[in-house]
Chain A
Amino acid sequence: MLGKPHWFKRRKYGGWGLFPKTWQGLIYVIAVCAIFAAIQFLPLDAQTKMIVTILFAVVLVADVLDIMRRIPMDERERLHEALSERNALWAIIATLTAGIAFQAYISAASQTMQVDPIIIIALLAGVAAKAATNIYLDRKN
C-alpha cells in the first residue's frame, strides 16, 4: 500500500508491529506521527476530528498489517515467531484467567456479579481462532 517491506523489520523484543530499518522507514514513522498531530490541530469540531483520526488509524493499521505480511521470513524465523507468539498467548491466557478468578472471588464475597464479560469474550474468541486454525490446517495438510 504505502510503506515498503524492506524499510522495516518485525518487532521481536518490544511487542508487535514494525521497527524502521532504513531511513525511509524512519521518515514513514515521522510522517505518521506528523499527520496524527496535524489532524489534532485541524479546524474541525471534536466529532469530525475523532472520525478523521479513526479513519487515519484504520488506514495505518491496514498498511502496517500489509507491510508485515510482505516482510520475507525464512522457515527458522517463522518457527521462532510461532513459538514466541504461542508463549505470548499463554501469558495472556494465564493473566486473563487469573483476572476472571479474582473477579469471581470478589463477586462471591460481595454477592454481586463483577466478572467482566469482555475477558470471557476474549477467551472465547481465542478458542474460536484456535479451532478455526486447526480445521484449516487439518484440511490443508
Chain B
Amino acid sequence: MNNKIAALRKKCGITQEELAAKCGVTRQTIIALEQNRYNPSLKLAHDITKTLGRKSIEQVFEME
C-alpha cells in the first residue's frame, strides 16, 4: 500500500511530530508510514485522513 502522507502533511503545514500527536502514535510510526514501511490499521488510516483534511481514505492511501 502506498500513501501520500508526506506530501499532504507538508501541504497542511504540520510536522511529523504534530501529526503523530494528533493521531495518537509516535513520530517513528509516522516516519515508517511516510516511507511505506508500515501498513496502518483502518482506524489509524482514518485518523490520518481526517487530520490531513481529506474526506476519504483513498485520497491518502492507495493499494498497489
A, B assembled together: yes
For the complex, what is the distance from the CA of A75 to the CA of B26, rounded to whole Å? 10
- Seen from chain B, the residues whose Cβ lies within 8 Å of a Cβ on chain A are 24-26, 28-29, 32, 38, 40-41, 44
16 interchain pairs (CB within 8 A)? A74-B24, A74-B25, A74-B26, A74-B29, A74-B44, A75-B25, A75-B29, A75-B41, A75-B44, A76-B25, A76-B26, A76-B28, A76-B32, A76-B38, A77-B26, A77-B29
10 nearest interchain CB pairs? A74-B25, A76-B29, A75-B41, A74-B29, A74-B26, A76-B38, A75-B44, A76-B32, A74-B24, A77-B26
Q: How many residues of A contact B (CB 8 A)?
A: 4
Q: How far is the CB of B34 from chain A (nearest CB, A)?
A: 13
Q: Which residue of A lies closest to B37 (CB)?
A: A76
CB-based nearest B residue for A72: B24
